[in-house]
Chain A
Amino acid sequence: MLALENIHAGYGPIDVLKGITLRVNEGEIVTVLGANGAGKSTTLMTIAGVNPCRQGMITFAGEPIANLPVHEIVRLGISQVPEGRRIFPRLTIRENLELGAFQRNDDIAGDLERALDLFPILRERTGQLGGTLSGGEQQMLAIARALMARPKLLLLDEPSLGLAPLMVVKIFEIIRAINQQGTTILLVEQNANMALHIAQRGYVLETGRIVLEDSAANLINNEQVRKSYLGG
């Protein structure tokens, strides 16, 4: 479904990504693990068209998409829940959700209902400003907002960052449920344990290069992964 072929991208004169090759098949959850500054967010932003792709090929559903405008890529069916959630703090929850469906011109009422079913916490608060939500609730809103676009592929950037352990479990359950309903997922995480438990395959990113690639089951048992990302 999505294939990155020797991608180079970065900021200023420096290439942060130095030749990333990865693929995501339809229906999968694929995770990308890596330490701070490895280039995980840069990878997602390059797929989304925010960062220019300086070299290499990105294809989605067989079509080249590298360096298309961001809104075009969203229209093709790739949505991102960015790092830090980035909900609109001074728009209501309902408005946040409506903006998620900005590219669509069909009826969104049904999807709004479905999103609120998936996140009942948001239901009683649709008129409240996004900025008044707690961190976990904001993460839910960010995910619900991205789903409103009906993406074929959902990019998730550290959805568990800064959340209490119970909330983390809940978010991962929801990610799994979204996947089971047919959305392919590319999940960037530092919480390797949780990520590898819901993913089918994973990649390990170190300073802009893929150093490991395997099934999630094998990665959990991999010596190097255990030492670096699973706390021994």
Chain B
Amino acid sequence: MTGWEVFLQQLIIGLSNGMIIALIALGYTMVYGIIELINFAHGDLFMLGCFAALTVVSLTGDLPVWLVLLLLLVLTPVFCGGLNWLVDRLAYRHLRDATKLAPLVSAIGVSFVFLNLGLFWGGLPLKVFGFGKAAAAPKDFPTLVSNANLLGNSNVEFTTKDLLVLVITVPLMVGLTLFVKQTRAGKAMRAVAQDRLAAQLMGIDANRVIGQTFLLGGGLAGVASVVAALYNNTIYFQMGYRAGMDAFTAAVLGGIGSLPGAVLGGLCIGLARALSDQYIATRWTNVMVFAILILVLVFRPSGLLGAKHREKV
């Protein structure tokens, strides 16, 4: 492999991972946009989505692959979206008028609950979890999508998995943009994000709209779970920490509250990780992400796309 080929390869890996980070970052940024809550449990929701996905695979193992993929892409987002909605309904909704610290601390609590739920889940006596002998150990996610190089004999690999990431995430992001811009529910979301009281005075049920935002953001995390599990073929109960950190940094980098910002930020973080893995050292990569987060917070807290008018949600 020539130097250029190595670089190109890292770009492909970085962009694929970046799209996954972007999906998680969208959920962060949407929830922040609408209730100014930094949802610390979001990364762990993504982790639970991966466990849900593996469970679905274990229960549908005999079906054709396309059907398993379809079930994964329906059931996992429904699970994650529903769980996110439920947490808002049971916890954050009661704290709407409390100081901002109250929901924030609750989110940290929810994150711990999710983490332990993941540990428990990995200990279930199923074959895919190694019959629960080592709950905390990483679990293999079956290779449903092959690693075949679509570029033929080229040294640079663009695999079926990379294609899968694009085919799932790009339409989803386009769809989300259209939903928020064009639909009645999307307009209600933007209205609640900009001025909740004024939105209520328009006859909008703000709590319901906030619930829908959690549902949608959680659903996106669920899709990210499926894509990440298929792409990386391993899941782990503590994987939500890094995923959450990457996605949070991506959301802040793009300008928290901004949808295009979350996507741009996700791609940047994905690329930064891949290039750091290749040219610096894997062990420094998390440090690089933290460094980006700190630099952005210090020098440009409104992020790349959050300059003048910050478009929330």
A interface, CB within 8 angstroms of B: 48, 50, 69-71, 74-75, 79-80, 82, 86-91, 95, 98-100, 102-103, 129, 131, 145-146, 149
Contacts and interface: CB of A to CB of B under 8 A. Distances in A.
B108 interface: no
Contacts of B199: 88, 99
Interface stretch (B143-151, B187-195, B242-250, B291-299): B187-195
B310 to A, nearest CB: 8
Contact of A149 (B190, B197, B203): B203
A100 B202 contact: yes
A131 B187 CA distance: 16
A102 B203 contact: yes
A52 to B, nearest CB: 11
B198 interface: yes
Contacts of B67: none
Contact of B203 (A50, A98, A103, A129): A103
Contacts of A50: 197, 200-201
Q: Quick one: which of B187, B197, B203, B311 has the most chain A CB within 10 A?
A: B203
Interface residues of B, number: 20
B197 A91 contact: no
Interface in B201-258: 201-206
A74 B200 CA distance: 9
A91 B191 CA distance: 8
Q: Kindly list the 9 A-B residue pairs having the minimum CB-CB distance in the complex, ordered from nearest.
A: A74-B203, A103-B203, A86-B198, A70-B200, A71-B205, A71-B203, A88-B194, A99-B202, A102-B203
A149 B202 CA distance: 8
B309 interface: yes
A102 B204 CA distance: 7
A88 B190 CA distance: 9
A117 B200 CA distance: 26
Given A98-B187, A99-B187, A131-B309, A91 B194 contact: yes
Nearest to A103: B203
